[in-house]
């Protein structure tokens, strides 16, 4: 069974600075997808960024980028120029092709003014 680990239960960063959230996963599959979801206090799940495992190039979405290390089974999220609105829980998620998500336990990020 796949597992997703996020070793940082809580993190904080000063506004405008950069922060990196860690995620590791365990799978025997070769083809899969990885995601980062943001959950603000409203508790809605918002997709931040996604990565296909067959792509070597790291995904980037504006201030959000990932460092995908397939051999190490690592998928970290970097947030540049942090904003107050980035304060939220961040969940790393793994998905085999055509199957359901497996989520990590989450990292609570606080952006400080």
Q: Measured from the CB atom, is 18 or 99 closer to another protein? A: 99
According to CB under 8 A, which residues from 36 to 75 bind another protein? Answer: 37, 42-45, 47, 50, 52
Which residues fall within 8 angstroms of residue 102, CB to CB, at 6 or more apart? 2, 3, 4, 25, 93, 94, 95
Question: Shortest Cβ distance from residue 66 to another protein (Å)?
Answer: 16
SS3 108: strand
Question: Shortest Cβ distance from residue 14 to another protein (Å)?
Answer: 26
Question: Is position 11 an interface residue for another protein (rule: CB under 8 A)?
Answer: no
Distances (CA, A) of 92 to 14, 30, 55: 22, 18, 18
Binding site for another protein (CB under 8 A): 33, 37, 42-45, 47, 50, 52, 91, 93, 95, 97-106
């Amino acid at each position: 069974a796949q597992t997703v680990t996020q070793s940082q239960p809580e993190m904080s960063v000063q506004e405008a600075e950069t922060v990196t959230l860690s995620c590791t996963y365990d799978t025997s599959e070769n083809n899969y997808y990885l995601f980062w979801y943001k959950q603000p206090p409203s508790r809605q799940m918002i997709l931040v960024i996604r990565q296909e495992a067959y792509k070597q190039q790291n995904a980037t979405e504006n201030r959000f980028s990932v460092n995908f290390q397939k051999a190490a089974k690592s998928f970290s999220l970097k947030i540049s120029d942090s904003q107050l609105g980035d304060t939220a829980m961040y969940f790393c998620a793994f998905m085999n092709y055509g199957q359901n998500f497996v989520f990590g336990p989450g990292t609570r990020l606080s952006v400080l003014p």
